[in-house]
Amino acid sequence: MKNIVSLLIALGSWQFIEAMTESEAIGALEGFGDKCEPKPNEDDYKNIVRNTEDVPQSTKCFRLCLMEQMDLIVDNCKLDGEKLTDLLTMAFDGKEEETAEIANHCNLKVECTDKCDAAHAHSMCILNQMKIKKWPLPELEEDSKQ
């Protein structure tokens, strides 16, 4: 399940599983971030879990690293629609057709000028398409104050 949570966080759609705090969402990504070069910084993690659209290149490249670890990006900066569908439907039963539509839409929309830019654009496109298709979007919960 941690792999699915991390995938959804990487795609910007982690909220669809369950309500999580920012710290929990970042914690789910840390093992994957350790495998990235350059190493992501604290702001990169926050940008990913907050679904920030306007981000620095370091965050975009972190997202690419995460998506590559999930085998979601193929050589030409395109989403592997079959892999995306397989992974997302583990968390969202019955969404196979919609997930395939989302992958196709985003592959047509996102251009490959830079792999990091394309990975980030794919994530934002997926999130936007899920909103259009009215998938539930719980808010990120605040961390408890200790």
Q: Is residue 143 situated within a structural domain? A: no
**CA atoms of 44 and 50, how far apart (whole Å):** 10
pLDDT at residue 118 is higher than 60: yes
pLDDT at residue 144 is higher than 70: no
Q: Is residue 138 situated within a structural domain? A: no
Q: What is the structure's pLDDT at 141?
A: 72
CATH number at residue 55: 1.10.238.20
Q: Is residue 139 situated within a structural domain? A: no
Q: Is residue 141 situated within a structural domain? A: no
pTM summary value: 0.84
Q: Which tens digit of pLDDT belongs to each residue from 13-26?
A: 544 445 678 888 88
The share of the chain scoring above pLDDT 90, in percent, equals 51
Q: What is the structure's pLDDT at 92?
A: 72
| Domain residue limits at 61 | 2-132
111 within 8 A of 99, measured Cβ to Cβ: no
Q: Is residue 99 situated within a structural domain? A: yes
Domains in the chain: how many in total?
Answer: 1
**CA atoms of 66 and 28, how far apart (whole Å):** 12
Q: Is residue 127 situated within a structural domain? A: yes
| Vertex 49: Cα angle to 34 and 21 (nearest 5) | 105
Q: What is the pLDDT averaged over residues 112-138?
A: 89
The share of the chain scoring above pLDDT 70, in percent, equals 80
Q: What is the structure's pLDDT at 72?
A: 92
> Beta-carbon neighbour count of residue 96 at 10 Å?
13
Q: Which tens digit of pLDDT belongs to each residue from 67-80?
A: 999 899 987 899 99
88 within 8 A of 79, measured Cβ to Cβ: no
- Residue corresponding to tokens 């702001």: 43
Structure tokens at 20: 């999580």
Q: Is residue 85 situated within a structural domain? A: yes
Q: Is residue 36 situated within a structural domain? A: yes
